Amino acid sequence: MKKSGKIPVVPDDESLAMTVGGVRFRNPFVVGSGPTAKWLDQLVLADRSGWAGASLKLAFDPEPYISLPPRYRFFRKEGYHAFTAESRLKFDECLRLIESGRKNTKDLLLFANITYVGDKPGLQGWMDMARKAEAAGAHIIELNMCCPNMSFNVTLTENARTEQTGASLGQNAAVVSAIAEAVKGAVGIPVFVKLTPEGGRIGDVARACFEKGVACVCSTANRLAVADFDIENLGQGPYRLQDEPTLACFSGPWIKPMALRDVVEMRRKGGPAARVLGTGGISSWQDAVQMIMCGADLVGVCTETMLHGFDFLPKWLKSIREFMARNGYAAVRDFRDLAVERLASADRLTLHGGYAEVDLEKCNGCGLCEGVGHCRAISIVDKKSRIDRAECLACSTCVDVCPRGAISMKETGILERKSCKKN
């Protein structure tokens, strides 16, 4: 981690600022809970780089029942980050971090990302935890209903039961919203709920939370999946200094399309007044704009900060300001949801009729396009690709297959919806 360095001063800018749950965020960017929000010097750097908030590493009360030295692996080509071994905070460590974070940062909003695993009856444990985090100085409580790497991982891998935390709890709208309501009643600071996409009910769980008046729902946590492994050496997992392959927590660019979908669902279920924090696979300012256009008010970033630290943010903020000026947006709210409104349902698409055409100058007769498995239109004649327009479905796969950019689509006009359906 760079300890010093020339981080450009980020002037506060009302066009990027917003208020969520009565708390002002200087811009939409929050360091997602994880290994880059675990130590004081990380918080100091994030504050200096202009991040609006940081969600501290998950803390357990009384203490984590699984906590291991971390083993991470970033699969650059595939675009995902995967891990299973991870260390978590004990609650008293979290409280000390909040206290020192408040003393040593100026503008950074601190989220206490918490889960209760003790034996206090009912919801008392959650409420007490939240009260203590508030007393230590947390600006926001973020209930962790998302971690797939503790009970959910154990249940899925071994079919065994353990304490119910994170993604195991987070699929149950009634339980999540009851905990959220109780915690909301116990503290004066805003309560956010970070939800899981596991179980496919994130929109419904979000709606249940909104109905209980939570300040903001957050997505997307890691997804459990199987990382690439060596088929010649099954005993050796993909991690360095760890033997076994596992169901791993996936993050990074690979999860962005699914994270965007989660945010769209949350926004649609919550309506325009709801507040949503969207996280998952954000690795550029354009990704962040897409996340906002899909319905996010705030944008969380974790894996990118693991790989590159914090000081890319000023460049992102500058680019977003330029993008806003180019497009006439005075505030982030002006482009929030724009993609949600545009997403058409499968039965309401406007399709253009057409066919594929080959540029014979560019075609070298390699024959790759002839191999398209669902196409009866292409044949190679005299070392050139020939396309029979009558057989062409206009699907456009050949355009993607051709390595020489020799194929393009020609349009013949808009198809009637009725004729689209028949195909």
Ligand X SMILES: Cc1cc2nc3c(=O)[nH]c(=O)nc-3n(C[C@H](O)[C@H](O)[C@H](O)COP(=O)(O)O)c2cc1C
Q: Which residues form the interface with ligand X (CB under 6 A)?
A: 32-35, 57-58, 72, 81, 83, 86, 113, 144, 146-147, 194, 220-222, 251-252, 255, 279-282, 300-304
- Give me the 342-361 binding string for ligand SF4, x by CB under 6 A, dash otherwise: --------------x-x---
CA distance 314 to 317: 5
Stretch that binds ligand SF4, among 55-63, 80-88, 205-213, 395-403 (CB under 6 A): 395-403
385 interface partner picked from ligand X, ligand SF4, none, CB below 5 to 8 A per type:
ligand SF4
C-alpha 365/C-alpha 358 separation (Å) is 11
> Could you tell me the two tokens for 98?
């909040």
Instruction: Specify the residue, 191 or 363, whose C-beta has the smaller distance to ligand SF4.
Output: 363
Nearer to ligand SF4, 92 or 357 (CB): 357
Closest CA to 337 of 254, 253, 270: 270
Q: Which is nearer to ligand X, 111 or 329 (CB)?
A: 111
Work out how close the CB of 345 gets to ligand X at its nearest, in angstroms, rounded to a whole number.
Answer: 27
Nearest approach in angstroms of CB 85 to ligand SF4 is 45
Does residue 398 interact with ligand SF4 by CB under 6 A?
yes
Task: For the CB of residue 192, give the shortest distance to ligand X in the complex, in Å.
Answer: 10
The listed partner (ligand X, ligand SF4, none) that binds 372, CB under 5 to 8 Å by sort, is ligand SF4
Of the candidates 50, 249, 64, 5, the residue with the CA atom closest to the CA atom of residue 149: 249
Among 133, 369, 381, 411, binds ligand SF4 (CB under 6 A): 369
Residue 271: count of CB within 10 angstroms of its CB = 9
Least distance (Å) between residue 239 CB and ligand X: 12
Tokens of 327: 């497009």
The DSSP line for 134-153 is HHHT-SEEEEEE---SSHHH
Q: Give the whole-angstrom CA distance, residue 84 versus residue 71.
A: 7
Q: Which of 368, 363, 278, 286 is nearest to 320 (CA)?
A: 286
Nearer to ligand X, 58 or 136 (CB): 58
Buried b (16+ CB within 10 A) or exposed e, 299-338: bbbbbbbbeebbbbbbebbeebbeebeeeebeebeebbbe
Token pair 């297959």: residue: 401
Smallest separation, CB 412 to ligand SF4 (Å): 13
Query: Least distance from C-beta 32 to ligand X, angstroms?
Result: 3
Q: Token pair for residue 411?
A: 């349009």
The tokens describing 137, both together, are 């100085």
- Determine, following the binding rule CB under 6 A, whether residue 397 of this chain makes contact with ligand SF4: yes
- Comparison of 151 and 279: residue with beta carbon closer to ligand X: 279
Provide, rounded to whole angstroms, the least separation between the CB of residue 413 and ligand SF4. Answer: 16
Q: For residues 134 and 259, what is the distance between their CA atoms, to the nearest angstrom?
A: 29
- Tokens 């503290």 belong to 187
- Partner from ligand SF4, ligand X, none contacting 21, C-beta within 5 to 8 A by type: none
Using DSSP's 3-state secondary structure scheme, residue 344 falls into: coil
Least distance CB 29 / ligand X (angstroms): 11
Residue from 378, 411, 417, 423 touching ligand SF4 (CB under 6 A): that is: 378
User: 148 phi and psi, to 5 degrees?
Assistant: -90, 5
Candidates 65, 366, 386, 420: give the one binding ligand SF4 (CB under 6 A): 366
The entry of ligand X, ligand SF4, none near residue 397 (CB within 5 to 8 angstroms by kind) is ligand SF4
> Choosing among ligand SF4, ligand X, none, which partner's interface includes residue 279 (Cβ < 5 to 8 Å by kind)?
ligand X
Min dist CB 414 to ligand SF4, Å, is 18
Binding partner of residue 32 among ligand X, ligand SF4, none, CB under 5 to 8 Å per kind? ligand X
User: Before 115, cis peptide (omega within 30)?
Assistant: no
Smallest distance from ligand SF4 to CB 379, Å: 10
**156 is a site residue for ligand SF4 (CB under 6 A):** no
Identify the CA nearest to 133 among candidates 190, 177, 175: 190
DSSP-derived 3-state class of residue 180? helix
DSSP secondary structure string for all residues of 276-321: EEEESS--SHHHHHHHHHTT-SEEEE-HHHHHH-STTHHHHHHHHH
Rule CB under 6 A: choose which of 385, 408, 417, 419 binds ligand SF4. Answer: 385
Question: Which residues of the shown chain bind ligand SF4 in the complex (CB under 6 A)?
Answer: 356, 358, 363-369, 372, 375, 377-378, 385, 387, 392-398, 401-402, 404, 406-407
